[in-house]
């Protein structure tokens, strides 16, 4: 019964082909073939793009692990541990470095751009020179180790930037209008939306955010006010202040403070109040905000 059904189907196909011109049949077959090839190419491009993006992440992770292994080796040498610990640290570095070398094969396979290939080769070279610097039995000064580390990290950062561009990863946020509501943009809004981080809590910070104020005027303004408060430190929390002069123009400048407590904020305000008429400040100040 199955054989008879198959014969019937084949007979139907033959009858249909007889009713259609061979030109139309060949056109249909060609269309199917072109579509299959195009789909295969698009799938290949998508798979390669995904592989490149994954590889960019792997470059950063593997290289950073190798840098950490060198720092561990330096710590062992500085601590003056026995030679067994030193050789264990060297062995751990070699294991991490082997991952870097294995990754190089993938980099050369996925990226044809010379900047990425040459950049990655420089990473491997700098890692080895970094390791050679600290592997001696005599400890190297920390400043020299930090300089070498930053040298490796600079090359790592440049290579990841090149590879990200080729892989279609945008490491910068495109400029575009952002709706925050029907109100004025505040310094807190800018802080939330900015890629730049806020000052560290243990560091004194002062800046101007005044519309229309030129850089030279801003520098002079800060130079006038900074000596008054830069040495102040909260006696309770041992933290300095973060001070912002904000306004739409020089005639309407307000002070915004970020301090550890209200008591310290009052101390800072009192210091800044001295000579206020001579530095462009008017009697306008927002309530200090504790952090």
The model carries a pTM of 0.60
* pLDDT at residue 235, rounded to an integer: 92
* pLDDT at residue 83, rounded to an integer: 82
Q: What stretches in the chain show pLDDT beneath 70?
A: 1-30, 33-34, 36, 41-42, 44-45, 81, 173-176, 179, 187, 274-291
* pLDDT at residue 247, rounded to an integer: 84
* pLDDT at residue 206, rounded to an integer: 93
CB atoms within 10 A of CB 139: 15
Q: What are the extents of the domains in the chain?
A: 43-167, 187-290
Q: In angstroms, how far is CA 149 from the centroid of its own chain?
A: 18
* pLDDT at residue 7, rounded to an integer: 59
C-alpha closest to that of 71 among 46, 49, 92, 53: 92
DSSP characters over 107-170: HHHH---HHHHHHHHHHHHHHHHHHHHH-SSSPPPHHHHHHHHHHHHHHHHHHHHHHHHHHT--
Q: For 171-184, how does the pLDDT look when each residue is reduced to its tens digit (9 = 90+)?
A: 776 666 776 777 77
* pLDDT at residue 278, rounded to an integer: 47
* pLDDT at residue 191, rounded to an integer: 74
Q: For 81-101, how does the pLDDT look when each residue is reduced to its tens digit (9 = 90+)?
A: 678 888 999 999 999 999 999
Mean predicted lDDT score pLDDT of the chain = 81
DSSP characters over 4-63: HHHHHHHHHHHHHHHHS-HHHHHHHHHHHHHHHHHHHHHHHHHHHHHHHHHHHHHHHHHH
* pLDDT at residue 283, rounded to an integer: 36
């Amino acid at each position: 019964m199955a054989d008879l059904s198959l014969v019937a189907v084949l007979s139907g196909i033959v009858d249909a082909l007889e009713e259609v011109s061979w030109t139309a049949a060949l056109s249909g077959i060609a269309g199917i073939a072109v579509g299959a090839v195009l789909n295969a190419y698009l799938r290949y491009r998508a798979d390669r793009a995904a592989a490149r993006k994954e590889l960019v992440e792997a470059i950063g992770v593997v290289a950073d692990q190798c840098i950490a292994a060198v720092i561990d080796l330096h710590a062992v040498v500085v601590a003056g541990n026995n030679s067994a610990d030193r050789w264990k640290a060297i062995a751990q570095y070699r294991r991490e470095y082997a991952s870097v070398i294995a990754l190089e094969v993938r980099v050369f396979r996925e990226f044809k751009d010379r900047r990425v290939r040459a950049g990655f080769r420089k990473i491997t070279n700098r890692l080895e020179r970094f390791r050679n610097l600290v592997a001696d039995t005599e400890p190297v000064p920390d400043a020299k180790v930090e300089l070498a580390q930053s040298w490796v990290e600079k090359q790592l950062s440049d290579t990841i930037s090149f590879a990200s561009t080729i892989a279609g990863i945008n490491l910068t946020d495109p400029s575009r209008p952002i709706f925050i509501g029907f109100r004025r943009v505040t310094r807190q809004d800018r802080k939330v939306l900015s890629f730049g981080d806020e000052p560290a809590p243990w560091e004194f910070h002062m800046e101007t955010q005044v519309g229309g104020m030129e850089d030279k005027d801003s520098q002079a303004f800060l130079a006038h006010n900074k000596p008054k408060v830069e040495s102040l430190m909260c006696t309770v929390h041992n933290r300095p202040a973060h001070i912002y002069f904000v306004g739409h123009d020089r005639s309407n400048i307000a002070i915004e403070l970020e301090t550890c407590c209200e008591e310290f904020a009052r101390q800072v305000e009192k210091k800044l109040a001295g000579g206020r008429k001579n530095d462009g400040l008017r009697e306008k100040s927002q309530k200090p905000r504790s952090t």
